Amino acid sequence: MPIFEEIHEVMNQTPVLGSTGDPSLDLYISSAEQTYLKTQEEIRQRLPLLKRHPSDLVGQLDTESVFKECMQLINSGKDQADRFMAAADGQIRQAKNRAQQAFATASLELKSENITAEALSLRCHSLEMLFDSLPTNKILARIEQELRTADALTKFILREPAGWLSYYLESRKIDKTLWYAAIKNSCQLWETALLAACDALVAIPAKEERVAEARKSLTNVWTDLTNSVLAALPSKMSGNSLDDLPDDHIITVADLRKYATSGALRIAKGQW
């Protein structure tokens, strides 16, 4: 494969669960997934060494050494994957902040200069009475209807991000993403900045959900990988490498599982 095709393939990886629609976000998720797959392969190569069931102390110490190495690989890989997912979260937050700022700027630019505070207050009160008379599931449809037919004052109120309507929607527990969609559907062709901001805001929740799904999936497979190491251990191992246990204690799989899954196993933090 030519070098430029290889670079393109690496920089445009599609996550296992499918694309988010954002190439850079896809790259973070794919990188986290690839980190897991590489670690998984490293662990698979070492699992046979844990299944030898050593009968002497030297063999037991060798098995403990492989176990430590496996746990260190898992923790190092998971830390790296977590950093990729944190970067994905950060990118979504930045995109959301930019879209919200663009939405606020575009809404204010469309405000009529002759709107008075008194007229604004009276119209808000009138709209509140109107929306209070409607079932919650009918409010967004009425907002979109008003946005298509109302005067400049009502349109400004119904599109102001930090105004009365924003708080009203929260009080009625209405998803603001659907509000952005209603604004987008009723935008005039020349209101390009507002349309673009709404497009971006409508897309954010799906991206947040996609990252959350990827994180959940990765959490599960990292746990499975750890369990595969624990399951490969001999049923009993002699030794005193766990300082929290008496020197003459027989270390069992249950001991190792307890320390590993509780986070108390020092090798998981590179201390053993």
Residue pLDDT, tens place only, 41-70: 999 998 888 776 555 544 555 778 888 899
The secondary structure element, H or E, covering residue 252 is strand 250-252
DSSP letter at 175? -
Split into its structural domains, the chain has a count of 2
pLDDT tens-digit series, residues 175-221: 999 999 999 999 988 999 999 999 999 999 999 999 999 999 999 99
Examine residue 2 and state whether it is found in any structural domain, yes or no. Answer: no
Q: With 70 as the cut, is the pLDDT of residue 11 above it?
A: no
As a whole number, the mean pLDDT across the chain is: 81
pLDDT tens-digit series, residues 114-165: 888 899 999 999 999 999 999 999 999 999 999 999 898 999 999 998 889 9
Percent of the chain scoring above 90 in pLDDT = 58
Examine residue 133 and state whether it is found in any structural domain, yes or no. Answer: yes
Considering the domain architecture, whether residues 94 and 119 belong to the same structural domain is answered as no
Exposure string for 79-114, b = 16+ CB within 10 A, e = fewer: eebbebbebbeebbeebbeebbebbeebbeebeeee
In Å, how far from its chain's centre is CA 34?
Answer: 17
Res 161: pLDDT: 87
Considering the domain architecture, whether residues 43 and 96 belong to the same structural domain is answered as yes
Examine residue 205 and state whether it is found in any structural domain, yes or no. Answer: no
Residue-number span of the structural domain to which 126 is assigned: 111-190
Considering the domain architecture, whether residues 130 and 169 belong to the same structural domain is answered as yes
Examine residue 106 and state whether it is found in any structural domain, yes or no. Answer: no
Considering the domain architecture, whether residues 162 and 30 belong to the same structural domain is answered as no
Stretch 69-74: mean pLDDT: 93
